Structure 1
Amino acid sequence: MEARELPLRSSDGHVSGLLAVVPASPTASLLWLPAMGVAARHYLPFADALAARGIAVFVHEWRGNGSSSLRAGRHGDWNYHPLLTIDLPCSEAAVAATLPDVPRILGGHSLGGQLACCRLGLEPDSASALWLVASGSPYWRAFPAPMRYWLPMAYRFLPWLADRHGALPGKRIGFAGQEARGVIHDWSRSAISGRYATTGLGIDLDRALARAAPPVRAVSFDDDWLAPPGSLDFLLSKLSDAERRLFHLDSGALGVRADHFAWMKQPAAVVDALID
């Protein structure tokens, strides 16, 4: 199946492309939210594998990445607020217009999984199920020792660095991409406090998350220090008591190193777990 890009224009003028891989007779659609700093095109192997199993996949593009018309910098900044309330509804509308009569799944990788949870907290009817891969809360207490002891220092340093440079120079430091200051501040806030919040929303995100009760399928990996099982457990603890199926894969099951990113190039075992 050939991928195509659906042109999107958000209500504030942001332009991006929604990557779509749609089989002939899909049984469901998945709106997939990438990890921080990862462009949509990197999920094509995952989308192709799911489409071969009858799932239509639409890969969202975060503003600032890939096909997005915006780039983070001193004159380009945003936080979780427009991501959750402007850009995601735009992608959701495009999915609904393309496939109006199939069940909708929302899912994501890493930060994408966190924001998928937040979106379902804000709009519980936006999807009927939640899929997470290598995702979890960055809350420092949810990580194993000794890692948890130095994380608060890192979580305070990264917003300072983003402020100093106008955006987080992620590629230079080996973490994420060129990320907006507001996104890094919101991410760091949740990492230090354990609570989700963003300026301008006017809604208690943690309280909204507690109302979300989608059936969840989540995959974690043996060598993933960025999203260990404890961080996934903490993230899921914010959701209502819904049906959960959790899968923990090692390198033997994956056929590649079981870390935060390697599965993207060889996603067969992840697809098997999610579809089961």
Structure 2
Amino acid sequence: MQEASAELPTAIAPATAGDGASSELLLTLPAQAPSALLYWLPAMGVAARHYLPLAQALAARGIAVALHEWRGIGSSNRRAGRHSDWGYRELLQLDLPAGLAAARERCPGLPCAIGGHSLGGQLGSLYTGLHPQDFEALVLVASGSPYWRRFRRGALIGAAYALAPVLAGLVGHLPGRRLGFGGNEARGVIADWARSGRTGRYAAAGLPDDLESAMARVRLPILALRLRDDWLGPQASLDWLLAKMPQARPMRAVLDPDELGVPADHFAWMKQPAAVAAAIADGLAPVLRRDRVQAAS
């Protein structure tokens, strides 16, 4: 296993899905034995390495962090194009199990939370619904449902959900880098994402599971962190997502610029994540401590 340059050890481990798609899992470990593992899912189009500051801050608080790499982004051996396509089904059925297996092999026996930023939080919620026994908690940062009716600029966002799949079909992928939104995304991912944005309901083409019913069965604690001035993750959007998990136990917090030391928007916190890391560590501590007590009794 190689080592990446970082203040605390960050292992680079291969994660290979059943169809041969592979990427590098970044795993940042505390100096002492970790108390828990957080499996982290990036926002749409964001490479895993951009969350290394967050992973370092959490590792300094005793939590091991595995940074997932989305198919088609960063270290992934796939790139979206006319002859290379995938959707939520591949992300949920193939890539996430491969990454989690690699993380748990490196950190066996640790209580595990899954979390994510923006779309990462949504897909973490979907995966938790499909595998509720695999985790002790779910963490959402700047996340929420993309349903257009939950946004102040809803009509404009709704139009984007109609146009994005058309553009992706014409080009062969969504050219997010040129548009200034996300990365170069696969047509199937955009189709699944846009559908949830238009209808307010989650579904994945080719996936037989009822994702809405699966989410309704989630009973885990959910730590939901919102950035005060984040128009991409407003309160109404988060409320819509959490309402899909009515049996869960949400713990909410809103972080403002004074706490963060940077603007309280969708992305600024990533470069200065101390306040977000502190909120995650403090929010998970009682949940994971209770888990250890129950396991020992």
Query: What is the Cα deviation at residue 29 of structure 1?
Result: 0.1
Q: Contact conserved, 2:58 with 2:278, CA < 8 A, in 1?
A: no
SS at match of 2:196: helix
Task: State yes or no: 1:109 paired with 2:117.
Answer: yes
Q: Deviation per CA, 1:119-157: give whole Å up to 9, x if none.
A: 01111112110011110100011113xx11222111101
* Distance in 2, Cα, partners of 1:262 & 1:50: 17
CA RMSD of aligned residues (A): 0.9
Correspondence 1:85-234 to 2 at 5 A:
85-144=93-152, 147-234=153-240
Percentage identity across aligned positions?
55
For structure 2, the residue ranges without an aligned partner over 5 or more in a row are 1-7, 283-297
Counterpart residue number, 2:25? 18
Q: Contact conserved, 2:63 with 2:281, CA < 8 A, in 1?
A: no
Letter in 2 for 1:168: L
Q: Contact conserved, 1:131 with 1:216, CA < 8 A, in 2?
A: yes
- Higher mean displacement: 244-253 or 49-58: 244-253
SS at match of 2:121: helix
Letter in 2 for 1:35: A
Counterpart residue number, 1:9? 16
Query: What is the Cα deviation at residue 241 of structure 1?
Result: 2.4
SS at match of 1:271: helix
Counterpart residue number, 1:53? 61
- Higher mean displacement: 253-262 or 150-159: 150-159
Task: State yes or no: 1:251 paired with 2:257.
Answer: yes
Counterpart residue number, 1:272? 278
Report the TM-score, using the length of structure 1 for normalisation.
Answer: 0.97
Q: Contact conserved, 2:16 with 2:99, CA < 8 A, in 1?
A: no
Query: What is the Cα deviation at residue 2 of structure 1?
Result: 2.3
Report the TM-score, using the length of structure 2 for normalisation.
Answer: 0.91
Q: Deviation per CA, 1:101-127: give whole Å up to 9, x if none.
A: 110000000000000000011111121
SS at match of 2:204: coil
Q: Contact conserved, 1:218 with 1:274, CA < 8 A, in 2?
A: no
Q: Contact conserved, 1:109 with 1:132, CA < 8 A, in 2?
A: yes
Q: Contact conserved, 1:81 with 1:201, CA < 8 A, in 2?
A: yes
Structure 1 residue ranges (4+ consecutive) displaced by more than 2 angstroms after TM superposition: none
Letter in 2 for 1:202: P
Letter in 1 for 2:52: L
SS at match of 1:84: helix
Q: Contact conserved, 1:92 with 1:126, CA < 8 A, in 2?
A: no
Query: What is the Cα deviation at residue 99 of structure 1?
Result: 1.4
Query: What is the Cα deviation at residue 182 of structure 1?
Result: 0.4
For structure 1, the residue ranges without an aligned partner over 5 or more in a row are none
Query: What is the Cα deviation at residue 100 of structure 1?
Result: 1.6
